[in-house]
Amino acid sequence: MITINYYPKHILKICFFSLLFSAFSLSHAEETFPDFTKIVEKNIPAVVIVNATRTITQNNKKPELNIPGMPEEFRPFFDKFFDGNNGQGNRHRQAPSFGSGFILSTDGFIMTNLHVVNNADQITITFSDHTELDAKLIGTDKRSDLALLKVDANDLPVVTIGTSENLKIGEWVLAIGSPFGFDHTVTAGIISGKKRTLPNESYVPYIQTDVAINPGNSGGPLFNLNGEVIGVNAQIYTRSGGFMGVSFAIPSETLSNVYAQLKNGGKVKRGWLGIYIQEVDKDLAKSFGLKKPTGAVVAKIIKEGPAKKSGLKQGDIILKFDNKVVSKSRDLPLMVGAAKVNKVVNVEILRDKRVLTKRILIEELPEEEKIAGMKQNKIDKVEATGITVEDIDEKIKKKLNIYGGAKVIDISDGLTNNSKIRIDDIVTHINNQPVYNANDFVRKIEKMNNNSLANFLVYRNSTPIYLAIKISN
């Protein structure tokens, strides 16, 4: 018996369009999700494993035994018996370290992170075909955490360096490295942010991604969809010790600059102004006469620095550097660090509510200056009422290199709970006018309009900080 089922025409139409939609969805998915295989195949030969070995010295000498009544002739025997190193005070052990790197030239220049090879006694490079070669350390740059290596080889495969300037948030990227020793592992993700400033890192505008980065990925390349290196995987943000979805890469512009300088001279030179800076918030901007928060306020001038020689003053707000707008204070160290040494640049500043231009000769950043003489500080907002001050002695003046000031010795209970002004803060300037002593502090406060905003320069633990303060007389 044969059964024939008849379906209405509208059902057949629905089925047809469902199939058509499914086919479109699959086609659209193929266009949305990139195929990384060609990028990986092309670049894996140029990605290497970096193995570093360093010697660690440990002092294992036991404390001297002090046994009452023990004959002196027995002491050497007991000292040797209880000393775990056969009487030797120091023990040496080899500590391995591994990461990733990539080949920049056919004759064997390789880039990686400094923390991978720092203080290494021996560095070995493992290639994708498992060939191993010893590497020589050509140069390092502590501030960017980059190191340049060299192996004795020719006709090596190389990566192509791209630009990170045109990266877009949400753009696909992929990393190749050796997390946990799993060689040439590929992970992919998107650009999460650009020009990120990390704590104690003032010279690298980091690229933030959600690409899975783990121990062993450090120093490996970050690729765009054109197969170009646009960053060096360097750090992760974690609370667990493992990847948590936030990773950071050194941009290719920094990579190229460091590579060129290390290859040619073994050292990286950066520009230096010789100032300490802090952010400008809306209240501080208003107190300085700015329409909106912008620029970087000069909190301190370093003696004999370029800024001092060029007439820059404490309280100046830097609006432009070398004709580039300083939108945020974090922009300035990047601009100054990238400036050529011995170059004269125009620096536009706001001083006493007037815009001026200073010409400054950029000098080389000294080795001891950790952040180019620039330090960003959080801005506190306080009420002036209820602050008791006293004169400061000559010892404090000499220590801080100031001519006068007033020390905060008491704060009313209301201010203590609602502000961050602290006892022992030393007020040296109000609206860029020097405060010579406690009486001068009171006189300047009394002359101000009630509920007006004033900028105070205070020293806290020897560090200058500008405060936007609302006056309540």
**Where in the sequence numbering do the catalytic residues fall?**
115, 145, 218
Pairwise CA distance, residues 367 & 357, whole Å: 29
Nearest to 132 by CA among 141, 121, 123: 123
Nearest to 202 by CA among 41, 68, 373, 318: 373
Cβ count within 10 A of residue 91: 13
Pairwise CA distance, residues 317 & 307, whole Å: 13
Pull the structure tokens for residue 116: 């991978």
Cβ count within 10 A of residue 32: 8
Pairwise CA distance, residues 268 & 365, whole Å: 10
- Who contacts 100 (Cβ-Cβ below 8 Å, separation ≥6)? 47, 48, 49, 50, 112, 116, 176, 177, 178, 216, 217, 218, 219, 220, 221, 233
Helix (H) or strand (E) holding 64: none
- Who contacts 318 (Cβ-Cβ below 8 Å, separation ≥6)? 277, 295, 296, 297, 298, 326, 332, 347, 348, 349
Pairwise CA distance, residues 152 & 138, whole Å: 12
Q: Is 96 exposed, middle or buried (0-12, 13-18, 19+ CB in 10 A)?
A: exposed
Q: Answer whether 164's CB lies under 8 Å from 187's CB.
A: no
Amino acid at the residue 8:
P
Q: How far is CA 457 from CA 50, 315, 364, in A?
A: 49, 8, 28
